[in-house]
Homo-oligomer: A and B are copies of this chain.
Amino acid sequence: MPTAKSSAKPAGNLLYAQSGGVTAVINATASAVIETARARGIKVLAARNGILGALHEELIDTSKESAAAIAALGHTPGGAFGSCRVKLKSLDADRARYERLLAVLKAHDVRWFLYNGGNDSADTALKVSRLAAEFGYPLTCIGVPKTVDNDLAVTDCCPGFGSAAKYTAVSVREAALDVAAMAETSTKVFVYEAMGRHAGWLAAAAGLAGDGADAAPHLILFPERPFNEADFFAKVKATVERVGYCVVVASEGIQTADGRFVADAGGGKDSFGHTQLGGVASHLAGRVKDALGYKVHWALPDYLQRSARHVASKTDVEQARAVGKAAVEYALKGMNSVMPVIVRTSDSPYRWKIEAAPLDKVANHEKKMPAGFLRKDGYGIAAAARRYLEPLIRGEAPPPYGRDGLPKYVTLKNVAVKPKLPPFEG
């Protein structure tokens, strides 16, 4: 019986898993991974709920999905196989789990492991790769970038960010038109809360909504810059008096100079002692109302901003597909412990390509915004930030809509692979 060596089809299966917060385009990456592997005759297994599914041997056989379903996955937000917020510790501290992972991979003849996530996932992929080498198991591990936070090292940007950035800029531009129309007798200050616990990338993207001193958003609050309430109040007041209203965009992660999160300033309880999950925008709106007496409104789009596939950036969708395709190609070439990253070769015209970066350059690093991206007064974005951000939200890639007026998002069958190992308690 000839072995895989004599055939064009490489031996073994590919395991794909999603990790961390999902995005509007992580499924576009999944779609490209599956389509690229299928074209090479490789079966793709997917882990249910990310690394948890790999640990618990809850695997999905994607070969049961039709080509049409996998194509539709390319325009469906969320995470089609489930994701998780689980970070494995060091090889020593979490040895039992890493060994179980390897046992599951072996049991299902997985020779290529693609982990689609942020810097934690890159770290996990790296460690799985090291353990496989230690055990002499032939495994190629690839990290695939994804995060709306845009905080991965090496890559110029992260798939998922461009679409969330476009959502942010479009939403702020639209809401600002509403506030402008009503300001004479109603809301004078509007606060929009953007995701970004440590880095202000999404808040910065709101800056694309307008340009010029009087264009909304008038004030952007970045986690990179200490929040000074008195200075902020003065800026809000000056803006309302000059423009007639003030649109504020606040990163959820802004902190005061002594390192306290502004979002926690309310103490987490209401006056009855109940948990009060306020957030930054609600807090700032209340403080502005108390201090300046203006009518305020605020918005907290929360998950809407990272799942808004309906207003995805075409650039982002293309990059999400490109990293998925490259990940499979790198894997099949045996390029172990790398991540396909986006390299920008030109701002204008915007040009980019995919290259392989060593996973250890990506793992556990966090990219903050360069200081030169902030406007001098710290409340807006500089020209360098515009040059960087603008291409990332460029182009529209709307999903198909049904007769019912809603986007046609796919739900996969997610057929389970029969487990081969005893259950894992860990």
Which residues of A are at the interface with B, using a C-beta cutoff of 8 A?
18, 21-22, 24, 49, 52, 76-80, 82-86, 166, 169-171, 173-187, 190, 208-209, 265-279, 282-283, 285-287, 289-290, 296-304, 306-311, 313, 315, 390, 393-396, 398, 401, 403-407, 409
A-B contacts, 7 of them at CB < 8 A, read A22-B182, A52-B185, A78-B180, A84-B182, A267-B270, A269-B270, A274-B290
The answer for the CA separation of A78 and B86 in the assembled complex, in Å, is: 43
State the Cβ distance, A83 to closest chain B Cβ, in Å.
5
A180 neighbours in B (Cβ, 8 Å): 78, 82
Copies in the complex: 2
**Which residues of chain B come closer than 8 Å to A176, judged between CB atoms?**
78
Q: Out of B83, B181, B395, name the residue touching A405 (CB < 8 Å).
A: B395
Picked from B49, B174, B268, B394, the residue with its CB within 8 Å of the CB of A308 is B174
Q: How far, in angstroms, from A313 to B310 measured CA to CA in the complex?
A: 13
Q: How far is the CA of A308 from the CA of B403 in the complex (A)?
A: 20
Assembly CA distance A297 to B174 (angstroms): 24
13 more CB-based (< 8 A) A-B contacts, given A175-B302, A178-B306: A22-B178, A78-B176, A79-B181, A80-B181, A84-B182, A174-B308, A174-B309, A174-B409, A178-B307, A269-B271, A277-B282, A278-B282, A396-B401
Inside 8 A of A289's CB, which chain B residues have their CB?
275, 277
Taking the nearest CB of chain B, how far is it from the CB of A78, in angstroms?
3
Residues of B within 8 A of A78 (CB): 174, 176-178, 180-181
Q: Which residues of the other chain, B, contact A287 by a CB distance below 8 angstroms?
A: 274-275
Within 8 Å CB of A166, what residues of B?
405
